[in-house]
Amino acid sequence: MTRDDAIGVLTAPGQPYELEVLTIRGQRQRAFRHAPATLGDLYAGTVSDSPFLLYEDELLSFAQAHQDAARLARILVDGYGVRKGDRVAISMRNYPEWVLAFTAATSIGAIAVAMNAWWQPEEMAYGLEDCGARVLLADPERLERLARCARRPAVAVIAVRPTRPMAGVADLKDLMAAQPAVAMPAADVVPDDPATIFYTSGSTGHPKGVVASHRSVISALLSWELDARIGALQTGIEPAPPAHQPATLLAVPLFHATGSHAVYLSSYRLQRKLVCMYKWDPAHAAELIERERITSVIAPAAMTGDLVREAARTQRDLSSLLVVGGGGAPRAPEQVRQIDAVFAQAAPGTGWGMTETNAIGAGIGGPDYLARPASSGRCSAVLELKVVDDSGAALPAGERGELLVRGTALFSGYWNRPELDATLFEDGWFRTGDVAYLDDEGYLFIVDRIKDLIIRGGENIGCGQVEAALVMHPDVHEAAVYAVPDERLGEEVGATVFCSPGLDLDALREFLAAHLARFEIPRYIRRTTEPLPRIASGKILKRQLREEALTGLAADAGSKAA
């Protein structure tokens, strides 16, 4: 059966994934007729006694997690005055409380703001002020950074797992102990109400808040389910019922759409156990996969590469793995083949998506992926893709241009950035900033970026933001930031700076640590006491500086090898 035939069968009238055409934000779009209307409906419809959240020795069932989220929701409503449309910010590691806070906020019609846990004080202050959060739930590491903000944002703070009492900060554990069991507070929420804000780095300036509706998030979740059913019909192979409860490893941050959507939110309808890691460690990941009989891992190429090497090194039984998925950054073709060779039953998979598309867009797995390891797959059933030239005209198969996307899973717009929306949306199509082509069979290939971005292990880094931090140092006069290839992470941050003689690079990095997240600080820095080269328009010749840097790094590597 062809993919189009499979989609036709599975989305036909009366089928669970039946599609209908609705007018959403002025555009005719395909939507799932039988989808939960809101995230609150999704949670309420999947309550069971099956294990759900496992963190170290703590375990909550779906029912217990929903009950705890209802108690937290009542605390937010009664104790903090949270109402529909208010922003509830979440800034912490992948603790169970992250899930409870997200569930509570989105159930009562508030907007859950997933803050990047790597952010330093200035970035935290910006995010909280930009979204206008009423409440922040944060762990001790984030609270320590908040305390160092030059100007503390006006937000009520709830501490999660604090190590000591903090003046003026409520302890979530105490609040929950004082709150009796309750039903989830009723809320008047409709599908196109905003549900989430995820921040994503742009090529210049501060991160942008990506606003997604309940409908767009749920469309992404059901699209992944549909893709799995399409694959089964195409191959004619129905997966055997699992001998045990499916489980997935939560090893990527929940503040990214991959972690929150593809790993966490997808687990509700699948009744999948979520095994949370404190931080990434390949040996511990292998231990958890063996002990918890984990069936899927979805992570960037750097992490799945670590797992491939650990699987080859260890004697642990990792045969429960059925899926090793990817996203955030492309895999090297060799790693695709290694996943297939190293894991007994696991099929490699990946896809293309953005925060702005709720992490879906195109997907590929199994034999298709092995045959086309450079491809991101074919388009989701609720989205449309096209490639255009500089004039906006659609290009034929095989020709490279900018990738545009539209459809039900697309975000509503950037938070408080209508001027940016106006430049990036046209007739419902969103300009992704990715250079791509579609082949004759509709397979997507991402080949470059128009945006001035670095993707380091799945983290987007805006070059402009790093350049702005560099020139804040009194001895740095100009800066150019660019991507440097890295075997494990895909790309690392490189910079060339026009600086005063004798600039100490260790001191510069220490200075940057107060202004940038750790992953944004350049690993490679080249110094010059001459102004950086520019073109006639005044723009820095960044391509030339990058080529010079790569040549220098290659020469350094050659001399060390000799």
Q: Is the pLDDT of residue 326 over 90?
A: no
Determine the Cα–Cα distance for residues 497 and 514; give it in Å rounded to an integer.
Answer: 19
Determine the Cα–Cα distance for residues 18 and 32; give it in Å rounded to an integer.
Answer: 6
Q: Are residues 311 and 407 in the same domain?
A: yes
Q: Are residues 538 and 465 in the same domain?
A: yes
Q: Are residues 360 and 374 in the same domain?
A: yes
Looking at the domain assignment, is residue 269 inside a domain? yes
Query: Other CB atoms closer than 10 Å to residue 483's CB: what's the count?
Result: 20
pLDDT in tens, 292-319: 999 999 998 888 889 998 988 888 899 9
Q: Are residues 160 and 241 in the same domain?
A: no
Looking at the domain assignment, is residue 206 inside a domain? no
pLDDT in tens, 342-351: 888 888 899 9
**pLDDT for res 7:** 94
| Structural domains counted in the chain | 3
pLDDT level of residue 526 (50, 70, 90 thresholds):
very high
Phi, psi of 313 (to 5 degrees): -85, -35
Determine the Cα–Cα distance for residues 309 and 510; give it in Å rounded to an integer.
Answer: 33
Range of the domain at 108: 62-200
Answer yes or no: are the C-beta atoms of 323 and 347 closer than 8 Å: yes
pLDDT level of residue 202 (50, 70, 90 thresholds):
low
CATH code of residue 530: 3.30.300.30
Of 200, 225, 260, the residue that ends a domain is 200
Looking at the domain assignment, is residue 396 inside a domain? yes
Q: Are residues 238 and 186 in the same domain?
A: no
**pLDDT for res 560:** 66
**pLDDT for res 495:** 96
Q: Are residues 196 and 140 in the same domain?
A: yes
Q: Is the pLDDT of residue 221 over 70?
A: yes
Instruction: Extract the tokens encoding 380.
Output: 């989701």
Instruction: Find the mean pLDDT for residues 453-467.
Output: 87
Cα 314 to Cα 282, 283, 311, 378, 418, distances in angstroms = 10, 8, 5, 35, 52
Determine the Cα–Cα distance for residues 32 and 35; give it in Å rounded to an integer.
Answer: 5
Q: Which of 485, 374, 484 is nearest to 437 (CA)?
A: 374
135-138 and 111-114 strand pairing: unpaired
Cα 329 to Cα 1, 169, 186, 350, 386, distances in angstroms = 30, 38, 40, 9, 20
**pLDDT for res 561:** 58
Looking at the domain assignment, is residue 297 inside a domain? yes
Q: Are residues 362 and 228 in the same domain?
A: yes
Q: Which of 267, 419, 468, 431 is nearest to 356 (CA)?
A: 431
Query: Other CB atoms closer than 10 Å to residue 57's CB: what's the count?
Result: 5
Give exposure, 15-53, as e/b (b: 16+ Cβ within 10 Å): eebebeeeebeeeebbbbeebbebbbbbbbebbeeebbb
Instruction: Find the mean pLDDT for residues 75-97.
Output: 98
pLDDT in tens, 402-445: 999 999 999 999 999 999 999 999 999 999 999 999 999 999 99
Determine the Cα–Cα distance for residues 3 and 162; give it in Å rounded to an integer.
Answer: 51
Structure letter (DSSP) for residue 230? H
Give percent of the chain with pLDDT exceeding 70: 98
**pLDDT for res 536:** 66
Q: Is the pLDDT of residue 53 over 90?
A: yes
Q: Are residues 429 and 495 in the same domain?
A: no
Determine the Cα–Cα distance for residues 460 and 258; give it in Å rounded to an integer.
Answer: 13
Q: Which of 140-149, 190-199, 208-217, 343-352 has the lowest mean pLDDT?
A: 343-352
Cα 230 to Cα 213, 217, 223, 380, 473, distances in angstroms = 26, 20, 10, 11, 54
Which residues are CB-neighbours of 10 under 8 A, at least 6 positions away?
Answer: 16, 17, 226, 229, 230, 233
Q: Are residues 365 and 486 in the same domain?
A: no
**pLDDT for res 427:** 92
Of 449, 471, 498, the residue that ends a domain is 449
Q: Is the pLDDT of residue 327 over 80?
A: no
Answer yes or no: are the C-beta atoms of 6 and 234 closer than 8 Å: yes
Q: Are residues 311 and 329 in the same domain?
A: yes
Q: Are residues 368 and 303 in the same domain?
A: yes
- In the block, tokens 């859950």 appear at 112
- In the block, tokens 């004082």 appear at 178
**pLDDT for res 541:** 87
Give percent of the chain with pLDDT exceeding 90: 72
**pLDDT for res 391:** 92
Looking at the domain assignment, is residue 49 inside a domain? no
Determine the Cα–Cα distance for residues 209 and 201; give it in Å rounded to an integer.
Answer: 9
Looking at the domain assignment, is residue 344 inside a domain? yes
Query: Other CB atoms closer than 10 Å to residue 328's CB: what's the count?
Result: 28
Of 428, 449, 470, the residue that ends a domain is 449
Looking at the domain assignment, is residue 40 inside a domain? no
Helices (H), ranges, 212-300:
214-235, 257, 267-270, 282-292
Q: What is the mean pLDDT of the chain?
A: 92
Q: Which of 188, 194, 175 is nearest to 78 (CA)?
A: 175
pLDDT in tens, 156-190: 999 999 998 888 899 999 999 999 999 999 999 99
**pLDDT for res 403:** 97
**pLDDT for res 501:** 94
Q: Which of 3-7, 63-67, 273-277, 454-458 has the lowest mean pLDDT?
A: 454-458
Answer yes or no: are the C-beta atoms of 24 and 215 closer than 8 Å: yes
Query: Other CB atoms closer than 10 Å to residue 164's CB: what's the count?
Result: 6
Q: Are residues 310 and 374 in the same domain?
A: yes
Instruction: Extract the tokens encoding 265.
Output: 């939110």
**pLDDT for res 204:** 60
Instruction: Extract the tokens encoding 58.
Output: 């703590």
**pLDDT for res 231:** 87
State the amino acid at position 562 in one-letter form: A
**pLDDT for res 555:** 80
Looking at the domain assignment, is residue 300 inside a domain? yes
The DSSP element (H or E) to which 378 belongs, if any, is: strand 378-379
pLDDT in tens, 481-516: 999 999 889 899 999 999 999 999 999 999 999 889
Phi, psi of 462 (to 5 degrees): -80, 120
pLDDT level of residue 562 (50, 70, 90 thresholds):
low
Helix (H, G, I), strand (E, B) or coil at 254: coil
Instruction: Find the mean pLDDT for residues 128-145.
Output: 96
Instruction: Find the mean pLDDT for residues 116-141.
Output: 95
CATH code of residue 92: 3.40.50.980
**pLDDT for res 97:** 98
Answer yes or no: are the C-beta atoms of 12 and 18 closer than 8 Å: yes
**pLDDT for res 475:** 93
Helix (H, G, I), strand (E, B) or coil at 442: coil
